A = this chain, B = another copy of it.
Amino acid sequence: MGSIAPEDDSLRVAIIGGGIVGLVLAAGLARRQVNVRLFEQAQGFREVGAGIAFNATAIRSMELIDPGVIGALRLAGAVPLSAADEDDPNDYLRWIDGYNQRDPDNPYSQKFYYKACAGYRGFEGVRRDQFLEELVKLFPPGVIQCGKRLENIEQRGSDDKMLLSFRDGTTFEADAVIGCDGIKSSTREFVIGKDSPAGEPSYTHINSYRTLIPMDKAIGVLGEYKARIFHNHIGPRANLLHYPVAESTMVNVTAFVHDPDDWPAGKPTTLMGSRDDVRAAFRDWNPAVRDLVDLFPDQLHMWAVFDLWEYPLPFYNRGRVCLAGDAAHATSPHHGAGAGMGIEDALCLSVLMGEVLASTRRDRAARGAALTTAFDVYDKVRRTRSQWLVNSSRRMCDLHHQDDWANPAKWLKAETCFEEVKDRSHKIWYYDIAGMVMDTIETFGKAADGRVQDAVLAKDVSAKDVSAMDVSVKDVLAKDESINSLAINSLVAAVSEIRVDS
């Protein structure tokens, strides 16, 4: 690596972490003429074979980030989760009773509880490893650097660049740094400080087991209908869900099991578990669930689920460093929306880096301030929603795992949860992502002009200021409407350009 030739005046952005969010963000920045470099600490992109699902907002965000990302998703074999009904092309999540055997004549019968409509191609499932593999192919050689473990970030005095140091002794200079390095983020301490209690991961008291099962075997135990579409089997203190991936040749199955104990400090959070552990957890469940567990491999990975619920971040940025995805707001997976929330972040950041480039084209010296402003806007636009997700996912788990599912006197009560399940799901799936892009552009435009910078973006580093996030961007904009039509035109142009390209 080494330093950059002085004549290189491209906008250089370093991304730390080569997970899905980092790669998707890199694609979005590259597409907007940013000189992007991605640093991954591992030696390569090896993933445990397991599925991941993307909701409609995440998919729409990918389209706006870079249609190439959608291409990668589809090349990786993504399929709609649950559009099994020929009369209805929409995707649904379906919740069914995984626990009880209510019908003595047919112990395999499972009560249908609820379905929530995610819209047309409103949820797509894919193998995580295959998606990563296709994403990596989007980049020319040199953009992605593996084996780079971040050690330090410092601001160089003279030319205002950020200097990254890696454990292998190399360095890299960038105009800005975005940490997409997950719940155990190394970048985070450069944003919130080494001694901040924020960002300490919390054990959610949930362990998850994931595996892929060939579709024909899944059909053998679940039947064609259940096997081919998303079902979430719920019951007391556990749930098990599955959906098709890999062009529907495989079913991705995840079991979530409550653990009343604490997780010992220092114990690895990913371990090898066994099918017998899963069998024990679902011992009293409906035989349909037990039969599916019997198809699990003898040994499989177990993840202890951690999140940032207890110690959220007071802000996602400092100067020209910011955090996205799990590094900023690691969530438990009960909405199936963790990566999708990071992809929304990536869209916001892609738009902002494009705005930074456009607004400083004739004044390169202003770039540093513009980047700082851009990350302030990012924090403003993204923090409330993404921290809500962390809370909501915990709540979804509580609703899924109610003890009441096992108590006939409480069945009616338990089922009244689904109106809330729907509201929470819809808040994610039907988010106005174009509205977010508009807010981002407008807020950046006004802040960059310095007109409302003090009012909107004042940040109280002592973390007293979470309440400021309830001043919505629209509230601020309502006070100064002169910029709106200009910004809206800019948005329309930006979105049109992207869509024409696709």
1/0 per residue A449-478: CB within 8 Å of B? 000000000000001101100100000000
Is A388 a contact of B419 with CB atoms below 8 Å?
Answer: yes
CB of A391 within 8 Å of the partner chain: yes
Is B467 a contact of A111 with CB atoms below 8 Å?
Answer: yes
Nearest-neighbour CB distance to chain B for A376, whole angstroms, equals 18
Q: Which residues on B sit within 8 Å (CB–CB) of A422?
A: 470
Nearest-neighbour CB distance to chain B for A126, whole angstroms, equals 28
CB of A42 within 8 Å of the partner chain: no
| The one of B114, B312, B388, B391 that contacts A467, using a Cβ cutoff of 8 Å | B114
Compute how far the CA of A466 lies from the CA of B112 in the bound complex, rounded to whole angstroms.
10
Q: Which residues on B sit within 8 Å (CB–CB) of A411?
A: 463
Is A412 a contact of B114 with CB atoms below 8 Å?
Answer: no
- Give the one of A112, A392, A466 with max B CB within 10 A: A466
CB of A384 within 8 Å of the partner chain: yes
Q: A423-B423, A423-B427, A470-B114 are in contact. Are A416 and B312 (CB under 8 A)?
A: yes
Compute how far the CA of A427 lies from the CA of B385 in the bound complex, rounded to whole angstroms.
17
Q: Which residues on B sit within 8 Å (CB–CB) of A198?
A: 412
Is B112 a contact of A419 with CB atoms below 8 Å?
Answer: no
Question: Nearest residue in B to A314 (C-beta to C-beta)?
Answer: B412
Q: State the majority secondary structure of interface residues on A.
A: helix
| The one of B114, B309, B388, B416 that contacts A420, using a Cβ cutoff of 8 Å | B388
CB of A415 within 8 Å of the partner chain: yes
CB of A387 within 8 Å of the partner chain: yes
Tally of contact residues, A, Cβ under 8 A:
38
Is B416 a contact of A388 with CB atoms below 8 Å?
Answer: yes
Is A310 a contact of B413 with CB atoms below 8 Å?
Answer: yes
Is A419 a contact of B466 with CB atoms below 8 Å?
Answer: no
CB of A115 within 8 Å of the partner chain: yes
1/0 per residue A365-397: CB within 8 Å of B? 000000000000000000011011011100000
Is B114 a contact of A463 with CB atoms below 8 Å?
Answer: no
Question: Nearest residue in B to A419 (C-beta to C-beta)?
Answer: B388
CB of A139 within 8 Å of the partner chain: no
Is B466 a contact of A412 with CB atoms below 8 Å?
Answer: yes
Question: Nearest residue in B to A390 (C-beta to C-beta)?
Answer: B416
Compute how far the CA of A413 lies from the CA of B309 in the bound complex, rounded to whole angstroms.
7
Question: Nearest residue in B to A202 (C-beta to C-beta)?
Answer: B413
Compute how far the CA of A75 lies from the CA of B467 in the bound complex, rounded to whole angstroms.
38
- Which residues of A are at the interface with B, using a C-beta cutoff of 8 A? 111-115, 197-198, 309-312, 314, 384-385, 387-388, 390-392, 409-413, 415-420, 422-423, 427, 463-464, 466-467, 470
